[in-house]
Amino acid sequence: MLNLERLRTLDALARHGSVSGAADGLHVTTSAVSQQMAKLEREVGQQLLAKNGRGVRLTDAGRLLADHAARIISQVELAQADVEAQRGRAVGELRVGAFPTAARGLFPAALSALRTDHPELTVRSQEMEPADGVLGVVRGDLDLAVVLDWYNKRLPVPGGLVRAHLLDDTADVAVPAGHPLAGRKVADLADFAEDDWISWPEGEFCHEWLMFTLRGEGVEPRIAHMAEEHHTQLALIAAGLGVCVAPRLGRGPVPEGVRLVPVRDTVRRHIYVVWRADADRRPSIRAAVDALRWAGERLTD
């Protein structure tokens, strides 16, 4: 009889590609992963892992069993979803992720409502970039992730996921109070062609979007500073060090010395939530989506 938890460990190894990645995804130690794999190898009587430099790789037998493990785990998740749906209550644990401004703008109201309306449901949340959120749901490390598309650039979402729209989020250009365009009621992105820009870090979806969009306006952006947090970006602008795109969701109070200029052709983000199709019938998923939609509607009323 194959042990389900050991199959989960093998599945995590196949998905993450390393013992440390599997341990992080399963929230256990690397030693625990190694021990589970050693027991699984004894159960099947074959070597499932082989050394690969400083890491490990799956053997042919390991890949074969990992494929079966993925299907078995998917069927178990479907069974759990059906049982939870039959029970008709949102119970158990729900793991959710969101990019920082969505976590700040949506989670306080949504998670508070879930705690009140579904006291048997435990929600655990974390901040992460949109692409990491999608990957976390695909891997099974998360049940839900709040992610985004920009109006002119979509975030790749693989098959097997369900998505639901939450809200559209408008963005302005934040400039120092002394900027020549600080008093304008509306401006074009091209009007900031000569400015230094403050961007998200390289490699992030929003940085790629900024470069793509400005170049589409005929502007070759001069990226002077990079900062992950919008509050850090706004603090740099208050010091007169550049301009940035400032979405409204989760923005909070704008520092003294910063002015916001709306963009003529509205710059906006589409905010939505994704989850695995095999978990679609879970009442906890539905409850969380409803709570997030409600939180989004409060911001747009």
Higher pLDDT, 16 or 270: 270
Higher pLDDT, 241 or 252: 241
CA distances from 69 to 3, 10, 106, 141, 271 (A): 10, 7, 35, 16, 33
Q: Which residues pair with 96 in a beta bridge?
A: 125, 144
Interval 200-217 mean pLDDT: 93
CA dihedral of 279, 286, 296, 131, whole degrees rounded to 10: -10
1 pLDDT exceeds 90? no
How far apart are the C-alpha atoms of 252 and 242, rounded to whole Å? 20
Paired tokens of 205: 């979806």
Weakest mean pLDDT among 91-95, 130-134, 167-171: 91-95
Q: Does residue 270 sit in helix, strand or coil?
A: strand
Mean per-residue pLDDT over the chain, rounded: 90
Biggest CA–CA distance in the chain, Å, is 74
Rounded distance, CA 256 to CA 78, Å?
52
Per the CB < 8 A criterion, the answer to whether 174 and 243 are in contact is yes
pLDDT in tens, 87-113: 667 888 899 999 999 999 999 999 999
- Give yes or no for a contact between 19 and 34, defined as CB atoms under 8 angstroms apart: yes
Q: What's the predicted TM-score (pTM) here?
A: 0.74
- What is the C-alpha end-to-end distance of the chain, expressed in Å? 56
What confidence tens digit (pLDDT) does each residue in 38-88 have? Answer: 999 998 998 998 888 778 889 999 899 988 988 888 787 777 766 766 566
CA distance 18 to 106: 33
- DSSP string of 183-216? T-S-B-GGGGTTSEEEEPPTTSHHHHHHHHHHHH
Give the rounded percent of residues in the chain with a pLDDT score beyond 70. Answer: 97
The conformational region for residue 257 under phi > 0 = left, psi -120 to 50 = alpha, else beta, is: left
